[in-house]
Amino acid sequence: MIDSPDRMMFDVTPEQRAVGDLARALARGEIAPHVAAWDREHRFPRELYRTLTEAGLMGIIVPERYGGSGADYVSYALAIEELAQVDAGTAVTVSVHAMICVAIEALGNDDQKDHYLPMLAGGDVLAGFALTEPGAGSDAAALRSTAMHDGTHYLLRGRKQWCTNGSFAGVTMGMFRTGGPGTRGISAFLIDNELPGIVVEKVTEKLGIHTSNTCDLAFDDVRVPSTALLGAEGSGLTNALTALTSGRIGIAAQATGILAACLESSVAFAKDREAFGKPIGSFEGISFKIARMATDLDAARLLVYRAAALADRGAPFAVEASKAKLFASTAARLHAAEAVQIHGGYGYTTDFPVERYYRDAKITEIYEGTSEIQQIIIGRSLLGRLE
């Protein structure tokens, strides 16, 4: 068994550790027996989220007054890591759901908090996220979907791509242009997915995270009330970035969980598999790979927990979250490849889970801000804008 985070030089409280232990028990008891089949079938296990809700994980960082668990970011990071160690798709579903909860709690008015947070914490609905468009990815300010005033309502028009949880979400946080070009013309909305005019155009077939739902949504004159506006009109991109900043802790924790799974599988295989009359772990070509994997796992965990601890203190954490996501996602991708290599031909088959870790790891370098975007954020924190 790989060392748990509380054996590292980080002050994880018993309460935080209990959340991680709960997530681990659920992941290994409720997800592990089914994940290979779910992955093979590209199945979104909707029923699983009722179990996670009953355990308090779907409302993990929703305040108790709204029916949530009221846990902190460190607890959240521990839970996401444990889920991702068994299934990265489940982890990102919970992470995005939590990210929207954070955005509503931080940016919503009292009516929005009272309406949405209890239902999200209680598992009545899943939350989705709709920012990316075919022509607007990292350059989110280039989005073209519009929200036009229509009396006391807005009419939403446009196409959104790669919407996480989109096919199953009850409410989606979406960004639409309410003004002119540039960042100041974008607004955020909380959208009831049952409204007429919202169509799931395509469910995206992906390299990995097959248990996570990703789809393209069409908004054809979707009429939403003015009360659906989240934050001030024109502050939508800022609001999206606020959500993404907290979400990067979740994705960094997801990548860390994938890395932990790679290490656990590699250690077990290296002890069991023999070549030339002895376990392959006795050869430096294998043991060095595992040593580096373990070292990078510790480093990733510490970066993630530092960002989470800063968020818990109410201190700025955007740069630290970017560092955590950049390092953890890169390490997950590199060491997932090494885990396949350690397993040799077996690693290239579906008989062992490392091929799934390999497929799942890559996306952590892309969504919720690519590695290149994280490097821009980190670089600017040191150098400012030099152009």
E strands, 94-145, in order: 126-130
Specify whether 92 is located in the same domain as 204. no
Instruction: Give CA–CA dist 88/260, Å, rounded.
Output: 12
Owner of token pair 């030099």: 386
Say which amino acid occupies 130: A
Q: Which tens digit of pLDDT belongs to each residue from 264-314? A: 999 999 999 999 999 999 999 999 999 999 999 999 999 999 999 999 999
Amino acid, res. 32: A
114 and 135 assigned to the same domain:
no
Write down which residue in 212, 236, 260 finishes a domain. Answer: 236
In this structure, are 158 and 72 located in the same domain?
no
Residues 29 and 88 in one domain: yes
Helix axis angle, 88-107 to 354-361, nearest 10° = 30
- HSE-CB of 136 using CA atoms within 13 angstroms: 21
Q: Give CA separation, 322 vs 28, 103, 254, 303, 329, in Å.
A: 29, 18, 14, 10, 10
Q: Average pLDDT, stretch 106-120? A: 96
Judgement on whether residues 242 and 151 belong to the same structural domain of the protein:
no
Per-residue pLDDT tens over the stretch 329-387: 999 999 999 999 999 999 999 999 999 999 999 999 999 999 999 999 999 999 998 76
Q: CA-to-CA distance for 52 and 187, rounded, in angstroms?
A: 32
Report pLDDT for 237: 81
Question: How do beta strands 126-130 and 169-177 pair?
Answer: parallel
Which has more pLDDT, 20 or 4? 20
DSSP for residue 255 = H
Helix (H) or strand (E) holding 52: helix 48-54
- Show which residues are catalytic: 368
Cα-based torsion angle of the residue sequence 101, 106, 111, 115 in order, rounded to the nearest 10 degrees:
10
- Provide the percentage of residues in the chain whose pLDDT is more than 70: 97
Residues 120 and 217 in one domain: no
Query: What confidence score (pLDDT) does residue 218 get?
Result: 98
Residue 139 belongs to a domain with what CATH number? 2.40.110.10
Final residue in a domain of this structure, among 236, 260, 289: 236
Q: Is the dihedral of CA 161, 167, 172, 176 positive or negative?
A: positive
User: Within this chain, do residues 118 and 183 fall inside the same structural domain, yes or no?
Assistant: no
Containing structural domain, residue 176: 127-236
Rounded (5°) CA angle 378-381-387: 100
Would you say 150 and 226 are in contact if contact means Cβ atoms under 8 Å apart? no
CA 269 to chain centroid: 29
Q: Does the pLDDT of residue 211 top 80, yes or no? A: yes
Instruction: Check whether residue 101 and residue 150 sit in a common domain.
Output: no
**Other beta carbons within 10 Å of 178:** 20
CATH classification of the domain holding 105: 1.10.540.10
Q: How confident is the model at residue 2 (pLDDT cuts 50, 70, 90)?
A: low
Q: Look at residue 166 in the predicted model and tell me its pLDDT.
A: 96
Beta bridge partners of 275: 278
CATH at 291: 1.20.140.10
Pair (157, 274) in one structural domain = no
Q: List pLDDT tens digits, range 49-77.
A: 999 999 999 999 999 999 999 999 999 99
Asked whether residue 216 falls in the same domain as residue 337, the answer is no
pLDDT higher than 90, residue 36: yes
Q: Number of folded domains in the chain?
A: 3
Domain identity same for 15 and 134: no
Q: Do both 375 and 334 map to the same domain?
A: yes
Q: Which of 236, 255, 280 is the last residue of a domain?
A: 236
